[in-house]
Structure 1
Amino acid sequence: MNRESHLVELVGDDGVHVGQSTVEDAHQAPHGRLHRAFSVLLMDPDGRLLLQQRATVKTRFPLRWANACCGHPAPGVPVPEAAAVRLDEELGITGVPFEQLGVHLYRAVDPATGRVEHEYDHVLLGRVRPDVAMRPDPAEVAQVDWVEADALRSGLVTDPTRYAPWLAGVVALLPDDAGDR
């Protein structure tokens, strides 16, 4: 089934369920419809973050660098459960427990496709070894890279169009001591 026809949960600014929609409909211009999403950050013991460059076929922000994976839970599916499935689908990584860092509410229009991201984005942190077994799906991921958190924060300021527009807000939820655990 085409991912654009999957159902997402529409929510209010407070994250309370108000309905459902297809992915395609939720991302229509000019405003998009606020819906539940998740962003997974993966960190290694040295505090580096795994980034993926989104595949060219993505309908929103193709070829931009983003967090390890992101997606939308189907209505009624717990966020951590949906995130674990998506992490496996995109990167082939399984068995990662998540810490919930918070929610990043944002809206961004993709200048290349006109599609709109308007998301109530649950940010999850998983800890993995840098040699974690991966099998990136080329239909989802162009490439991956481990980056130092401070270098990423700097890049988000100096060259923001290189990155997905949600990434700065997602990374801002990382605790200062996240790499020390």
Structure 2
Amino acid sequence: MTSVTTPELVVLVDDAGRTIGSAPKSEVHHSSTPLHLAFSCYLFDDTGRVLLTRRALHKRTFAGVWTNSCCGHPAPGEAIEDAVARRVREELGLDVAELRCALPDFRYYAVAADGVVENELCPVYCARAVGPVQPNPDEVMDYVWVEWEQLRAAAGLGWALSPWATEQIPLLGDFGVFIDAQRR
């Protein structure tokens, strides 16, 4: 029996964030990437440290770059919160608790060195990581837990972080409520 695989789809959106269709993920990232729905997630441990990951070298965009804990795209009809939990399990082998949307309207546009464009409406989530990190090598080549203030300082110095993380981290500076709650 032959198995048929369905291509992973991303949700295309207009400038107001309304769904206007879908497209295969494998075909959407190029030099004129259409605006599409994505998400970013920052995972914290019980001491308030944040998990940074380094993207696998064969990733289509920004290969080998250090970034937030997990990124992804919700499937058509999938709630973003469900997509976050799904991708965190797939990429890191973790579950999430206390998932919160910190930046619901975050949007960015970035061009990789090879000319591939990221053009995403990308709500940013924070959550507590549950379980040990078990990275999927197809997605993550390395990871490290760091203090939030160290990450904020590194992002401010322009260290080699993904362009979306570099934009998100200063905006999350006031999201210390989540971090402080973890230390209690």
TM-score between the two structures when normalised by the length of structure 1: 0.88
- Contact residue 84 and residue 96 of structure 1 kept, 8 A: no
- Contact residue 39 and residue 170 of structure 1 kept, 8 A: no
RMSD between superposed Cα atoms in Å: 2.0
Give 1:134's aligned residue.
133
How far apart are 1:2 and its partner, in Å?
A: 8.5
Higher mean alpha-carbon deviation, 163-172 vs 7-16, is at 163-172
Write the deviation string for residues 83-136 of structure 1: whole angstroms up to 9, x where unpaired. Answer: 11110110000243411112310000111x32111000011110136xx31210
Q: Unpaired segments of 5 or more residues in structure 1? A: none
Structure 1 pair 94/176, CA: closer, same or farther in 2 (3 Å)? closer
Q: Does 1:23 align with 2:22?
A: no
Q: Unpaired segments of 5 or more residues in structure 2? A: none
2:171 and 2:87 map into 1 onto residues whose CA distance is 21
Write the deviation string for residues 122-179 of structure 1: whole angstroms up to 9, x where unpaired. Answer: 11110136xx31210111111110111221122123234x111100233234213331
The one-letter amino acid paired with 1:163 is L
- Contact residue 88 and residue 96 of structure 2 kept, 8 A: no
Please identify runs of 4+ aligned residues in structure 1 that moved more than 3 A: none
1:147 and 1:156 map into 2 onto residues whose CA distance is 12
Give 1:49's aligned residue.
50
Structure 1 pair 8/63, CA: closer, same or farther in 2 (3 Å)? same
- Contact residue 60 and residue 115 of structure 1 kept, 8 A: yes
Give 1:167's aligned residue.
165
Equivalent pairs: percent with the same residue?
36
